Chains A and B, each alone.
Chain A
Amino acid sequence: MLSILSALGGLILAPFAGGLLSGVDRRLTARLQSRVGPPLLQPFYDMLKLFGKEPKVTNAWLVFSAYVYLISSAFALFIFFMGGDLLLLFFVLTIGAVFQVVGAICVPSPYSQVGAQRELLLMLAYEPILILVFVGFAMCTGSFMISDVFRLDSPLLLKMPLLFLALGYALTIKLRKSPFDISAGHHGHQELVRGVQTEYSGPYLALIEIGHWLDLVLILGLCAMFWHTSVIGMCILAAASLFTEILIDNITARLTWQWMVQKQSLLVGMGFALVNLLWLYVA
């Protein structure tokens, strides 16, 4: 009961943490571009403003998809806080990702449709990596339960450094950072408008935005799991991951989807994951 309550508490706090992190992200990005950047609370202003806007949609399914996306992200995070099953967490995350795409495809708008197709390719790139990383967790702990990670004595990072890098790949994609922001980037305006998110507007865009914050928290949480033995270590790892993502975001150009799926993700990411898994298997 206590664990459920604390997980619920975490779930309520997570959007605030996610929003704040996203504010840090924007500010840090601005600094890297030698700008001043928006206030730290800017994401919250954006979100509140979006909630106050008049609803305008093409299709009722879009609204449904936006809600399902948020709900699935929240569930995934809840499972994470509960120390639940990694595979279940993965599948629940998939619901959200799929519905975001379905919502974009169900509107006859070329921009959101092309964005959705690219988003699907991105999913193709990161999903196998995530599964393999989770399998790596399972090989180290003997089960897919997140809570079992805390029974280990030494940090996972020592056993699966390459899987951590592979996870980094998956995260760059999931967070829509350059060079993988081909479907809906924060900076890549004008090319596909906002890609997969073009048709979500007003309150529904806000739902998607909150879902994105929750994903950010979940992902950084997953990164932190690699150094579970000390709280400071977890914080360092999460902060380092976030900073690296932002840095990569700012110093790379966007890829074409062919290059991304073929070379970057499949070869490098999956390669890292595979080598590490084989190593775990042999060891």
Chain B
Amino acid sequence: MLNFLIFCCVALPFIVGLALYCVPGGAMRKILVPSTVVVMAMAAIGLGANGPFHLEAQDFLGLPLDAAFTFLDFILLGYILFLGWNLRSRLIMGMTVLQLAGLVYLKGVLTDQATPVTGFAPDGLSLIMVIIICVVGGLITIYSLGYMDIHEEHLHLRASRKPRFFAIVFCFLGAMNGLVLCNNLAWMFFFWEVTTLCSFFLISHDRTEIANTNAFRALWMNVLGGLAFVSAMLFIQKSLGTLSTEIVLQKMTALDIKNTAMLMPFAFLCLAAFTKSAQVPFESWLCGAMVAPTPVSALLHSATMVKAGTYLLLRMAPAFAGTTMSTIVALFGAFTFVGTCMLAVSQSDAKKILAYSTIANLGLIITCVGINTAASMVAATMIIVYHSVSKGLLFMCVGSIEQRIGSRDIEDMRGLYSAMPRTATITTIGIFTMMLPPFGMLIGKWMAIEAIARATQAMTPILFFIALGSAFTVLFWARWAGILISSANLREYPVRGIHRPTVIFALRTLCGVALLFSFISPMVLKDFVGPSVSGIYARFNLRAEGFIPGANFTGVEGYSWIYLLFVLLALGAWFAWRATRRVPEKAHSLPYFSGLAVRRGNEVGFNGPMNVFEPARVSNYYLAQYFGEERITRGIDVISTAFLIVLVGGLL
């Protein structure tokens, strides 16, 4: 049964992807895509319900899996080398050759074939990730069915490129599932490189010049990460003699003193994770990735890709708990958080705001990982879960808005509420789920701050960064939310838009999921995230210091008290909504504009000279003179590079 479920999550998407590529029929795609998504989601939930397990998977249909993965690794690296050749990039070719050399050394010289490694050993964390990938990723895939129709109509393509698109998306989902489920680092490396390759293809999907440039940047940065991963594998095999994540962690946590040689591979793994999660100074690839069609951004930012990096860190965190390296990781994450929040403030492009906020939240997760206590791990997992849902939703919203109004600048979204009230409302809800209690993200952030405040190391500067960053977060979210629902009418009524039913379905479902999940966030915390982390801590005999995060969540009493508060808040919102509905139509008046207000459509302004209508234009403060990209990016890059040098070099 487990075999079958894992097959559905990992191998099935690859097979379906291949099928979709080979059979370019639109009708078949419309059936195959949703049904596969449903199967994957069911399988993921089945796995989750089953709980943590071990599965010795030595062969698949008589094929020895280890050898197969080795073979596939080489094929994949060979292909990347070929890509590097095509792109005329010495950088990519050089790094790929180094990876190949490392892999040959690892497989040929170091690996002891006699000790088989448990194939799959997912614990709570992996299962949570699988559910996110299949549910959120699946909804995004369904969304792209409708989105890509309109997208290709706009591009006036002669031959549809949808078969290729969906094939890659499914491979991406499959690779992500494989990455979080498997236990063998070598297999994980394969899936890691597949996600790199898939993101390269997806970013360059539209084949414009800028798409190609940005895809190239994404490729070289992630190949650098791949190189770090290979180096880490080499060191681990050499010092610990195994590539099984589980055994590596067991050995590492059993050590009393962790010396440099022991920590070295984990520094490299951190580096790999930072590139994948687009932390500064590698943030440019994720920002560049927004040239791709919006479902790609949604995928990269929410369920896949960037979450792979944080997953790897969370997985490996017990190995370097209580070391200086861990503190540096935390500082680095906090610095990324505040730096990218500042950058987000200066942006008016909605996708860019979302991109920077993703990087910032990943930074927060990495801070929690660096703090490395049970409480901070719970916070990190919570943020991963809720960030995926909300960010996926927001990207899909921005995609729909862009297709409707032809722009994704938030200044152009003034009055959007009149044109598409439902989508504007959903987007606003998405924004609120990112920044306000009682929504899940805030629970995560709250626990993160508690965990950091209770931590012993370098707490003051980290908290300073987090406090500052949070304030910036409120700044850029709140103004966007206000713009989205701005309108000169008392109420707006939805009109029929251009969007396909799949798009609307995906938006509403994910919005519902976001709200529902937030509503049950104490339960999610208590029944899923908490046990998953305590499971990990129990497995490696770690002392779960300060666990059950904060005094608030201690025991049933505190938990129900928080829950009561959330219910009251929800009731308050409902009451406010009811009061709002009661406002009579005749209470409408134009905004105050010195007695000159004139309205034309949804615009308010005044009649200027010759009785010509002049709209009143207001724009946000973007504070570009302080936080403009060209002003501070360089500084942030320099400082973060210094952090990385300290992280890796400090161990030498």
Residues in chain A within 8 A of chain B (CB atoms): 54-61, 63-64, 67-68, 71-72, 75, 79, 85, 87-88, 91-92, 94-95, 97-98, 101-114, 116-117, 120-121, 123-125, 127-128, 131-132, 135, 138-139, 143-145, 193, 198-199, 270, 274, 277-278, 281
A277 to B462, CA, bound (A): 12
B460 engages A277 (CB within 8 Å): yes
Q: Main secondary structure on chain A at its contact with chain B? A: helix
1/0 per residue, CB under 8 A from A, across B448-467: the answer is: 01100110000110011011
A103 to B417, CA, bound (A): 14
A58 to B568, CA, bound (A): 28
A106 engages B486 (CB within 8 Å): yes
A88 engages B437 (CB within 8 Å): yes
B467 engages A128 (CB within 8 Å): yes
Also in contact, A68 and B573, with CB within 8 A (given A92-B437, A128-B467, A132-B464): yes
Instruction: Report chain A residues within 8 Å CB of B89.
Output: none
Interface residues on B, range: 35 or more
A222 to B550, CA, bound (A): 21
B481 within 8 A of A: yes
Choice from A110, A120, A143 contacting B616 with Cβ under 8 Å: A110
B591 engages A71 (CB within 8 Å): no
Name the residue on A nearest B458 (C-beta): A281
Name the residue on A nearest B476 (C-beta): A120
B468 within 8 A of A: yes
Q: Main secondary structure on chain B at its contact with chain A? A: helix
Name the residue on A nearest B446 (C-beta): A87
A sample of 30 inter-chain contacts (CB < 8 A) reads A56-B588, A56-B589, A58-B490, A59-B486, A59-B489, A75-B569, A75-B572, A85-B550, A88-B562, A94-B474, A95-B569, A98-B435, A98-B474, A98-B478, A105-B486, A106-B482, A109-B592, A110-B593, A112-B591, A113-B618, A117-B479, A125-B471, A128-B468, A128-B471, A131-B466, A138-B453, A145-B551, A145-B552, A277-B463, A281-B459
A97, A107, A125 — which one has the most chain B CB atoms within 10 A of its CB? A107
B577 engages A64 (CB within 8 Å): yes
A143 to B553, CA, bound (A): 12
Within the complex, the shortest CB–CB distance from B582 to chain A, in Å, comes to: 9
B471 engages A111 (CB within 8 Å): no
1/0 per residue, CB under 8 A from A, across B401-432: the answer is: 00000000000001101000000000000000
Choice from A116, A139, A270 contacting B479 with Cβ under 8 Å: A116
Name the residue on A nearest B604 (C-beta): A108
A64, A132, A281 — which one has the most chain B CB atoms within 10 A of its CB? A64
B580 engages A60 (CB within 8 Å): yes
A54 to B463, CA, bound (A): 47
A59 engages B488 (CB within 8 Å): yes
Name the residue on B nearest A262 (C-beta): B626
**Which 4 A-B residue pairs are closest in the complex by CB-CB distance?**
A105-B482, A109-B591, A67-B576, A71-B572
B470 within 8 A of A: yes
Within the complex, the shortest CB–CB distance from A231 to chain B, in Å, comes to: 26
1/0 per residue, CB under 8 A from A, across B463-505: the answer is: 1101110111011011101110111111100000000000000
A124 engages B589 (CB within 8 Å): no
A131 engages B470 (CB within 8 Å): yes
Also in contact, A64 and B576, with CB within 8 A (given A57-B587, A91-B446, A139-B453): yes
Name the residue on B nearest A56 (C-beta): B589
Also in contact, A60 and B589, with CB within 8 A (given A68-B573, A88-B552): no
A232 to B467, CA, bound (A): 33
B240 within 8 A of A: no
